[in-house]
Structure 1
Amino acid sequence: MIHSPGLLFTILAFALVIGPLVFLHELGHYLAGRLFGVKAEVFSIGFGKEVFGVTDKRGTRWKFSALPLGGYVRFAGDMNAASQPDAEWLMLPPEQRAQTFPSKPVWQRAIIVAAGPVMNFLVAIVILSGFALVVGDPGASSVAGQITAGSAAAVAGIEEGDHITAFDGQPVATFADMVSYVAPRPNTRTRVTFEHEGVPRTVQVTIGTRQLADRSGKAIAVGLLGINRPRISIIDAPGVGVRRTSQIVGMMAQGIGQIIVGQRSVRELGGPLTIARVSGEQMALGADAFVWLIALVSINLGFINLLPVPMLDGGHLFFYAIEAVRRKPVEPQVQEWAFRGGLAALLALMLLVTFNDLGSFGLWNNLAGLIG
């Protein structure tokens, strides 16, 4: 059982998750813009009125704004944070016009826009690669790593390098499958089938028990065999990070598809309040759980921003793809209406997820109880 931490702790955890990820996302845009010689006029963490900031020698205003749910980089030639072009850029002297975002070829603009989500995915890959180095790859095949001395597996004669194939006739393919079977069965007699140097063997094993405790101090018994994950080399770790990230993106895409076709409820969508609550809970559980959450949220930010919705990075990329095919930009009035529609859609989504968030906190049930 996970107990909700205090409000201040939750706010701090939320800030430590969202703040750095938003900064890194916008830093991706900024660095790509710098690469192609585009001047950044504003780098903002948050929206609305500036709280404090500083202007660097290149003329970029780095600032924190009042509403910290997001951020933006405004490049020279942009009319606003949505990167809509300002017609006045055409009137600038040639050397200044060359530093504006609209003056760049479509492929450079696309790279600049895509760099934000790409940065989010890179952050997740680095974190998940680090986890693979420290604790191994849960998606690896069910080959035994180091065997803990005196453990149930050691007593049963299982050795490092043995390939576990089944528990009580139930096949297992990955290390995660093994954990899923063993963890809920402490002190349970089970039949383990494995291959030792290519020779099939079957042994009876009594699953060991490890005592854990939740934040309230209540003891929880968890099954343990004493088989550790095979070690991942520093060369293989990035591959694990990429694979895990792609798997999570695939699950997100599948989840949205299921919501669209009605197989899952829109009530499963969560917003900032849910992220804040989960951030506090994971931070309270320890650094490893909290860092894992940062990786998941980073993937989520990258994925959502790539959706082809105007106002998001994916919406800009959609227009750039049309421009590349037509060899001319989409008409300004079409973009204007698309951005208005995208803004309306995003506001509606924010209302929906906030409604869901408040429901997850029990607000609607409490109100119903008061009315009833």
Structure 2
Amino acid sequence: MLAQPPLWFIIIAFLCALGPLVLFHELGHYWVARWLGVGAEQFSIGFGREVAGWTDKRGTRWKIGWLPLGGYVRFVGDMNAASQPGETSKLPPEIRAKSFHLRPWWHRFLIVLAGPVANFILAIAIFAAFFAVFGEPRTSNMVSAVIAGGPADIAGIEPGDRILSVANRATESFEDVYQAVTLRPDENVDVVISRDGEQRLVKVRIGVKLEQDRFGQKFKVGRLEILGSERQYVPPSAVNLIPSATAYTFKITQWMIDGIWQILSGRRSVKDLGGPLKMAQIAGQQASLGPFEFIQLIALFSINLGFINLLPVPVLDGGHLVFYAAEAVRRRPVSERAQEWAFRGGLALLLALLIMVTVNDLASFGLFERLGRLIG
């Protein structure tokens, strides 16, 4: 078992992972806004008091805040970093022409959408680079062996069967099977197999296994108790490099959605949600394993950041997109009062979620267990 990295190393690794992701996200907003002629007053990496910065020839203040846990672009006409509309009626004409909130709804929609899209593009670029150097991981969905007495054996799955889907999730590779099963410990699921050219539906009760990673952390996972073919790394052609990386990124996003839906539907505990502290720990662990593992983690974090920002929660990019879509349908903006209350509710929801995942993180570190022993 590997020792946990020291705290200082975890902090540095987390900042090195988070900083580029936030920068790339905000650059997505900034470049599309600049392309559409919208002015930016501030571009900040981090929050709070400025510790370093400069002003470019367009009047944009580029700065670094003392709390490096996010960032924002404040456009002309924004009241705050959440892009709530400020007072624009008294602005001079040359400034009004660059105001974000005086642009057509589709301009604002594209500018906001560009941030999450930039994170997905970054992940695609990282995976494309890995595929070009090492090859694309490929496995067959054919079962090579079935462990006697395991869930697959009990359900009647045999060597040579191809697993086409698990819980209505298509499984084109053994990796797809692994991900679909891992997320469903102790669940009854439908599994579609292909045997002798015929498709069959089998009912499977997925097994539960308590696993421990290289750093001693324990977690429950689902298991079918089957073996697949050996993973191969096949370099894609130059033409298929970006499509392959895009498909891989889309597949990871599907797994992410699947996991969140299981939590929302009550099939998995909310204790499985991790927050910034857990992310920092994982960043430190992966960085201690080497640069390749760390860069792969950055790609996963980038997908995570892009996906979370697309959630329809006010304050997040997805919340703004909902407002602009509503404006397109109603042919008039959502009232400022409604937006203000929505932003307050969204902020309260995010703060509550942050508290909950922080408690989860501290519990996973064993803090409460140690406190219980001290008190007892």
In which range does the TM-score fall when normalised by the shorter chain?
0.7 to 0.9
Matching residue's letter, 2:68: P
Cα deviations across residues 101-122 of structure 1 (Å, max 9, x unaligned)? 0111000100000000000000
The count of corresponding residues between Structure 1 and Structure 2 is 311
**Distance of 1:243 and 1:342 partners within structure 2:** 32
Superposed counterparts of 1:23-42, under 5 Å: 23-42=23-42
Aligned to 2:250: 246
Task: Quickly say closer, same or farther: Cα 1:172–1:3, change in 2 above 3 A.
Answer: farther
CA contact (8 A) 2:139 2:230 kept: no
- Cα distance change on mapping 1:26 and 1:77 into 2, 3 Å: same
Structure 1 116/83 Cα, relative in aligned 2: closer, same or farther at 3 Å?
Answer: same
The one-letter code sitting in structure 1 at the alignment partner of 2:289 is: L
Amino acid of the residue matched to residue 338 of structure 2? V
Report the Cα offset of residue 134 of structure 1: 2.3
Instruction: Tell me which amino acid in the other structure corresponds to 1:368.
Output: G
- Tell me which amino acid in the other structure corresponds to 1:166: S
Structure 1, unmatched stretches of 5+, are: 143-163, 181-213, 217-222
Matched, 1:130 2:129: yes
Query: C-alpha displacement at 1:179, in angstroms?
Result: 12
Deviation string for 1:264-298 (max 9, x for gaps)? 11111111111111111111111111111000000
1:46 positional shift: 0.9
**1:165 Cα offset (Å):** 7.2
| Residue in 1 that maps onto 2:185 | none
- Determine if the alignment matches structure 1 residue 331 to structure 2 residue 330: no
Partner of 2:66: 66
Letter in 1 for 2:32: A
What TM-score results when the alignment is normalised by the length of structure 2?
Answer: 0.78
Deviation at 1:128, TM superposition (A): 1.2
Distance in 2 separating the partners of 1:115 and 1:24: 10
Q: Match for residue 306 of structure 2?
A: 302
CA contact (8 A) 1:97 1:103 kept: yes
2:323 equivalent to 1:319: yes
CA distance in 2, matches of 1:126, 1:335: 36
Shift of 1:167: 4.5
Q: CA deviation at 1:371?
A: 1.3
What is the aligned partner in structure 1 of residue 112 from structure 2? 113
- For residue 237 of structure 1, report the CA deviation from its aligned partner: 1.5
Aligned partner letter, 1:295: A
- SS at 2:234's partner residue? coil
Shift of 1:171: 4.0
Bigger Rg, structure 1 or 2: 1
Residue 365 of structure 2 aligns with an amino acid whose one-letter code is F
Contact kept in structure 2, 1:175 and 1:229, CA below 8 Å: no
Q: For residue 148 of structure 1, what is the aligned residue in structure 2?
A: none
Select the residue among 258, 280, 283 that pairs with 1:279: 283
**TM-score, normalised via structure 1 length:** 0.78
Unaligned runs of 5+ in 2: 147-158, 164-171, 179-213, 217-226
- Where in structure 2 are the equivalents of 1:1-372 lying within 5 Å? 1-87=1-87, 89-139=88-138, 141=140, 166-167=144-145, 169-171=159-161, 176=174, 228-372=232-376
Q: After superposition, give the CA deviation of every residue in 1:186-224 in whole Å (9 maximum; x if it has no partner).
A: xxxxxxxxxxxxxxxxxxxxxxxxxxxx799xxxxxx9x
* Cα distance change on mapping 1:13 and 1:33 into 2, 3 Å: same
State how far apart, in whole Å, the 2-side matches of 1:264 and 1:228 are.
32
TM-superposed deviation, 1:360: 1.3
Percentage identity across paired residues of the two chains: 54
Report deviation, 1:252: 1.4
